[in-house]
Amino acid sequence: MKHEDAHQHVHHNHNDCIESALSTAEALCIQQGQRLTKVRRRALELIWESHRPLGAYQLLAKLAEEGFNSAPPTVYRALDFLLGAGLIHKVESMNAYLGCAHADKAHKGYFLICDECHNVMEFDYQDIHAALVEKAARQGFELRAETIELTGLCEKCKGKSVGASA
Amino acid sequence: MKHEDAHQHVHHNHNDCIESALSTAEALCIQQGQRLTKVRRRALELIWESHRPLGAYQLLAKLAEEGFNSAPPTVYRALDFLLGAGLIHKVESMNAYLGCAHADKAHKGYFLICDECHNVMEFDYQDIHAALVEKAARQGFELRAETIELTGLCEKCKGKSVGASA
DNA sequence: GTTTTACTTGTTATATCATAACAAAATTCT
DNA sequence: AGAATTTTGTTATGATATAACAAGTAAAAC
Ligand SMILES: [Zn+2]
Ligand SMILES: [Zn+2]
Ligand SMILES: [Zn+2]
Ligand SMILES: [Zn+2]
């Protein structure tokens, strides 16, 4: 078990994350009559193993190492599938993809992205969602999707960069 | 006066938008000791003339038509300058750039993006901003920048796509 | 269980978005 | 004018994403 991601905000057994995500994924796909093929499944695992947003070509390289086809459509098809199934999110401001830990509950991904360590936390904020829907509606706008990406400093990095001077 | 943007959500004299944006830009640049050079100024005008987000290479083509250099760095430098000065925003989910009508007030751009007509409305929502800052802080996160991009159907397009069937 | 159908993958090429690196020119400061 | 700073020109390349069509595979129909 390699553990290059041990510097997470909250320490946890990341293997559990992955296993849980994968079983959810399988259940969801069966339920929806979708096929979680080898390459799709492996793509999802690799995204989870990184535990921070992974670029399409980074993912493609990992897949290629394992014998999958190495042309871009391979990875973009897998990503499209996983996005469509709600199993991952795209972080628009990073052009990168992140596993969703709550794929079973339909929702939008709200992210806190650390400028320093590039860790990304997904957070749920029903209040904000409701407020946005209402605000949009007041302008005659029917809200369908939200991209909420907040950048700054996570707790750990905030400590590091400020600690010495203060 | 060409008026390919007459199908705005709210009709208005768009020339006023542009003039107002340009004078604000000039004032701001002088105030900050920045130089609004020819290419930067013209880039800003062209972004405003489109009145919806413009891709970097679309803008580059327009600049090239007018005799400016046609290599990518030309446009990306202008965009970097304008972004840095707060005169435009980048819409991350579209990889496109939009003039800011309130460049004088430091703020983050929140956008309503229509899936149909691709018009983009910037909206200000201090409540949401405050809630996000507080929510982030509660997780130990120091918020620096926000990407808030909401997609859906604007009032006009909502009418079009639903009207006939209902 | 073979045919038909729908879906998935392979393959090649290309489109789109963005930056690195260094040289030349213009502007500002002294 | 001369030096320092900033801006622009130029060439090359990196990074992200899709189009188009052929081949293969799995599911459904018969
Ligand atoms: Zn999620
Ligand atoms: Zn951090
Ligand atoms: Zn703005
Ligand atoms: Zn619309």
Query: Is residue B54 assigned to a domain?
Result: yes
Domain that residue A160 falls in: 14-165
**Cα angle A76-A77-A82, degrees, rounded to a multiple of 5:** 95
Query: Is residue A124 assigned to a domain?
Result: yes
- Of the given ranges (B25-39, B81-95, B146-160), which has the lowest mean pLDDT? B146-160
**Domain total of chain A:** 1
Q: Which nucleotide is nearest to A70 (CA to C1')?
A: C10
Query: Is residue B6 assigned to a domain?
Result: no
| Mutation for testing the B interface, residue in A150, A157, A161 having most B CBs under 10 Å | A150
CA distance B133 to B83: 22
Average pLDDT over residues B69-75: 97
* 3-class SS of residue B116: coil
Q: What is the mean pLDDT of chain B?
A: 87
Query: Is residue A142 assigned to a domain?
Result: yes
Segment B83-136, tens digit of pLDDT = 999 999 999 999 999 999 888 877 777 999 998 888 999 988 788 999 999 999
CA distance B90 to B42: 17
Question: In this structure, how many other beta carbons lie within 10 angstroms of the beta carbon of residue A31?
Answer: 9
Query: Is residue B50 assigned to a domain?
Result: yes
The answer, yes or no, to whether residue B163 has pLDDT greater than 80, is: no
* DSSP annotation string for B30-67: HHTT----HHHHHHHHHHHHH-S-B-HHHHHHHHHHTT
In this prediction, residue B162 carries a pLDDT of 54
Nearest to B91 by CA among A93, A30, A55, A35: A93
Average pLDDT over residues B140-165: 83
Dihedral class, residue A95 (left if φ above 0, else alpha if ψ from -120 to 50, else beta): left
Q: Model's pTM, two decimal places?
A: 0.86
Query: Is residue A1 assigned to a domain?
Result: no
Query: Is residue B2 assigned to a domain?
Result: no
The answer, yes or no, to whether residue B164 has pLDDT greater than 60, is: no
Residue B2 CA distance to nucleotide C26 C1' (Å): 35
Question: In this structure, how many other beta carbons lie within 10 angstroms of the beta carbon of residue A164?
Answer: 7
**Chain B residues touching A155 at Cβ < 8 A:** 139-141
The answer, yes or no, to whether residue B4 has pLDDT greater than 50, is: no
In this prediction, residue A102 carries a pLDDT of 85
Residues of chain A with pLDDT under 50: 1-9, 163-166
Chain A window 105-144: which residues touch B at a Cβ cutoff of 8 Å? 112, 114-115, 121, 123, 125, 127-128, 131-132, 135-136, 139-144
Query: Is residue B126 assigned to a domain?
Result: yes
In this prediction, residue B90 carries a pLDDT of 96
Average pLDDT over residues B32-54: 95
CA distance B129 to B151: 18
| Mutation for testing the A interface, residue in B123, B150, B151 having most A CBs under 10 Å | B150
**Chain A residues touching B9 at Cβ < 8 A:** 140
In this prediction, residue A11 carries a pLDDT of 63
Amino acid at B165: S
In this prediction, residue A56 carries a pLDDT of 98
The CATH number for B52's domain is 1.10.10.10
